[in-house]
Protein backbone atom coordinates (compact mmCIF):
# COMPACT_ATOMS: atom_id res chain seq x y z
CA UNK A 1 0.00 0.00 0.00
CA UNK A 2 2.88 2.35 0.80
CA UNK A 3 4.34 1.67 -2.62
CA UNK A 4 1.10 2.60 -4.41
CA UNK A 5 0.74 5.84 -2.44
CA UNK A 6 4.39 6.69 -3.04
CA UNK A 7 4.07 6.00 -6.79
CA UNK A 8 0.92 8.12 -7.08
CA UNK A 9 2.65 10.98 -5.25
CA UNK A 10 5.62 10.64 -7.61
CA UNK A 11 3.31 10.92 -10.63
CA UNK A 12 1.62 14.01 -9.20
CA UNK A 13 5.00 15.55 -8.38
CA UNK A 14 6.35 14.75 -11.86
CA UNK A 15 3.25 16.26 -13.46
CA UNK A 16 3.64 19.41 -11.37
CA UNK A 17 7.33 19.82 -12.14
CA UNK A 18 6.85 19.05 -15.84
CA UNK A 19 4.03 21.51 -16.35
CA UNK A 20 4.68 24.26 -13.80
CA UNK A 21 8.44 24.50 -13.34
CA UNK A 22 10.08 23.37 -16.60
CA UNK A 23 8.24 25.93 -18.78
CA UNK A 24 9.63 28.72 -16.56
CA UNK A 25 13.26 27.75 -17.15
CA UNK A 26 14.48 29.98 -19.99
CA UNK A 27 17.48 27.85 -20.96
CA UNK A 28 15.39 24.78 -21.83
CA UNK A 29 14.34 24.67 -25.46
CA UNK A 30 12.40 21.50 -24.68
CA UNK A 31 11.56 19.83 -21.43
CA UNK A 32 11.89 16.18 -20.46
CA UNK A 33 8.70 14.18 -20.29
CA UNK A 34 8.75 13.07 -16.64
CA UNK A 35 5.36 11.36 -16.80
CA UNK A 36 6.53 9.24 -19.70
CA UNK A 37 9.69 8.29 -17.79
CA UNK A 38 7.72 7.24 -14.72
CA UNK A 39 5.08 5.38 -16.72
CA UNK A 40 7.57 3.29 -18.62
CA UNK A 41 9.58 2.72 -15.45
CA UNK A 42 6.52 1.46 -13.58
CA UNK A 43 5.64 -0.82 -16.46
CA UNK A 44 9.21 -2.03 -16.89
CA UNK A 45 9.77 -2.77 -13.21
CA UNK A 46 6.32 -3.87 -12.00
CA UNK A 47 4.75 -5.42 -15.10
CA UNK A 48 1.98 -4.80 -17.63
CA UNK A 49 -0.89 -4.30 -15.20
CA UNK A 50 0.90 -1.77 -13.01
CA UNK A 51 2.20 0.02 -16.09
CA UNK A 52 -1.33 0.34 -17.42
CA UNK A 53 -2.72 1.66 -14.14
CA UNK A 54 0.00 4.25 -13.74
CA UNK A 55 -0.31 5.08 -17.44
CA UNK A 56 -4.03 5.64 -16.88
CA UNK A 57 -3.31 8.02 -14.01
CA UNK A 58 -0.64 9.92 -15.96
CA UNK A 59 -2.84 10.15 -19.05
CA UNK A 60 -5.85 11.35 -17.08
CA UNK A 61 -3.77 14.10 -15.50
CA UNK A 62 -2.60 15.24 -18.94
CA UNK A 63 -6.14 15.04 -20.37
CA UNK A 64 -7.64 17.00 -17.50
CA UNK A 65 -5.20 19.87 -17.81
CA UNK A 66 -4.79 20.09 -21.59
CA UNK A 67 -7.39 20.71 -24.25
CA UNK A 68 -8.35 18.32 -26.96
CA UNK A 69 -10.34 15.13 -27.02
CA UNK A 70 -10.53 13.48 -23.63
CA UNK A 71 -8.55 10.27 -23.62
CA UNK A 72 -5.96 11.42 -26.15
CA UNK A 73 -3.04 11.26 -23.72
CA UNK A 74 -4.57 8.47 -21.66
CA UNK A 75 -4.47 6.13 -24.63
CA UNK A 76 -0.77 6.62 -25.37
CA UNK A 77 0.26 6.42 -21.71
CA UNK A 78 -1.70 3.17 -21.22
CA UNK A 79 0.00 1.70 -24.29
CA UNK A 80 3.41 2.82 -23.05
CA UNK A 81 2.81 1.21 -19.65
CA UNK A 82 1.56 -2.02 -21.22
CA UNK A 83 4.28 -2.39 -23.86
CA UNK A 84 7.02 -1.70 -21.34
CA UNK A 85 5.40 -4.16 -18.96
CA UNK A 86 6.07 -6.85 -21.55
CA UNK A 87 9.78 -6.13 -21.10
CA UNK A 88 9.59 -7.02 -17.39
CA UNK A 89 11.14 -10.43 -18.07
CA UNK A 90 14.31 -8.61 -19.21
CA UNK A 91 14.42 -6.44 -16.09
CA UNK A 92 17.66 -6.34 -14.10
CA UNK A 93 18.02 -3.65 -11.45
CA UNK A 94 21.48 -2.46 -12.39
CA UNK A 95 21.00 -2.71 -16.14
CA UNK A 96 20.64 0.84 -17.51
CA UNK A 97 20.99 0.22 -21.25
CA UNK A 98 17.52 -1.23 -21.79
CA UNK A 99 15.74 1.58 -19.88
CA UNK A 100 17.62 4.16 -21.96
CA UNK A 101 16.65 2.40 -25.19
CA UNK A 102 13.06 2.18 -23.97
CA UNK A 103 13.17 5.88 -23.11
CA UNK A 104 14.19 6.78 -26.66
CA UNK A 105 11.60 4.46 -28.24
CA UNK A 106 8.80 5.60 -25.92
CA UNK A 107 9.48 9.28 -26.46
CA UNK A 108 9.73 8.74 -30.20
CA UNK A 109 6.41 6.85 -30.23
CA UNK A 110 4.80 9.51 -28.02
CA UNK A 111 5.94 12.37 -30.25
CA UNK A 112 4.97 10.55 -33.44
CA UNK A 113 1.53 9.90 -31.93
CA UNK A 114 1.16 13.61 -31.23
CA UNK A 115 2.45 14.52 -34.69
CA UNK A 116 0.04 12.20 -36.49
CA UNK A 117 -3.06 13.13 -34.52
CA UNK A 118 -2.36 16.82 -33.93
CA UNK A 119 -0.48 17.97 -37.03
CA UNK A 120 -0.68 15.45 -39.86
CA UNK A 121 -4.46 15.31 -39.75
CA UNK A 122 -4.50 19.10 -40.25
CA UNK A 123 -2.26 18.69 -43.33
CA UNK A 124 0.84 20.07 -41.66
CA UNK A 125 3.43 17.91 -43.36
CA UNK A 126 6.62 19.42 -41.93
CA UNK A 127 7.87 16.23 -40.26
CA UNK A 128 11.50 17.29 -40.72
CA UNK A 129 10.94 20.58 -38.92
CA UNK A 130 8.87 18.88 -36.22
CA UNK A 131 11.53 16.22 -35.72
CA UNK A 132 14.52 18.56 -35.58
CA UNK A 133 12.98 21.34 -33.49
CA UNK A 134 10.57 19.53 -31.20
CA UNK A 135 11.10 15.78 -31.11
CA UNK A 136 14.89 15.52 -31.05
CA UNK A 137 15.49 18.05 -28.22
CA UNK A 138 12.76 16.44 -26.11
CA UNK A 139 14.14 12.96 -26.75
CA UNK A 140 17.63 14.06 -25.74
CA UNK A 141 16.43 15.79 -22.57
CA UNK A 142 14.23 12.82 -21.68
CA UNK A 143 17.06 10.31 -22.09
CA UNK A 144 19.44 12.41 -19.99
CA UNK A 145 16.77 12.85 -17.34
CA UNK A 146 16.05 9.11 -17.43
CA UNK A 147 19.61 8.45 -16.28
CA UNK A 148 18.95 10.37 -13.09
CA UNK A 149 15.29 9.64 -12.40
CA UNK A 150 15.48 5.92 -13.12
CA UNK A 151 18.31 5.48 -10.60
CA UNK A 152 16.45 7.48 -7.95
CA UNK A 153 13.28 5.51 -8.66
CA UNK A 154 15.19 2.21 -8.28
CA UNK A 155 16.68 3.38 -4.99
CA UNK A 156 13.25 4.23 -3.56
CA UNK A 157 11.81 1.01 -4.98
CA UNK A 158 14.49 -1.08 -3.22
CA UNK A 159 13.85 0.80 0.02
CA UNK A 160 10.10 0.16 -0.19
CA UNK A 161 10.70 -3.53 -0.92
CA UNK A 162 12.87 -3.80 2.20
CA UNK A 163 10.15 -2.15 4.27
CA UNK A 164 7.54 -4.53 2.86
CA UNK A 165 9.75 -7.56 3.58
CA UNK A 166 10.33 -6.41 7.16
CA UNK A 167 6.58 -5.89 7.58
CA UNK A 168 5.80 -9.34 6.19
CA UNK A 169 8.39 -11.11 8.38
CA UNK A 170 7.13 -9.45 11.56
CA UNK A 171 3.61 -10.77 10.97
CA UNK A 172 4.78 -14.38 10.68
Q: What is the mean pLDDT of residues 142-156?
A: 89
- pLDDT at position 171: 53
Query: What pLDDT, in 10s, does the model give residues 115-138?
Result: 999 888 888 788 888 889 889 999
Per-residue pLDDT, averaged over 154-165, amounts to: 84
| Model pLDDT, residue 162 | 86
The Cβ of residue 148 has, within 10 Å, a number of other Cβ atoms equal to 11
pLDDT for 164 equals 80
pLDDT, residue 170, reads: 57
**Domain count of the chain?**
1
pLDDT in tens, 79-108: 999 999 998 887 776 788 888 999 999 999
- Residue 88's domain comprises 2-19+28-171
CATH code for the domain in which residue 155 is found: 1.10.1760
pTM, full prediction: 0.88
Contact between residue 41 and residue 150 where contact means Cβ atoms under 8 Å apart: yes
Amino acid sequence: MKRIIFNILMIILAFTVQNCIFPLLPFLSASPNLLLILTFSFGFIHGKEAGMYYGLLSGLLMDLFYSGPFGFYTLIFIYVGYVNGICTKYYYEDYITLPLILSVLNDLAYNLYIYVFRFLIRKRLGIGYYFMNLMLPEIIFTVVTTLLIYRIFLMFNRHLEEIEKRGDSSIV
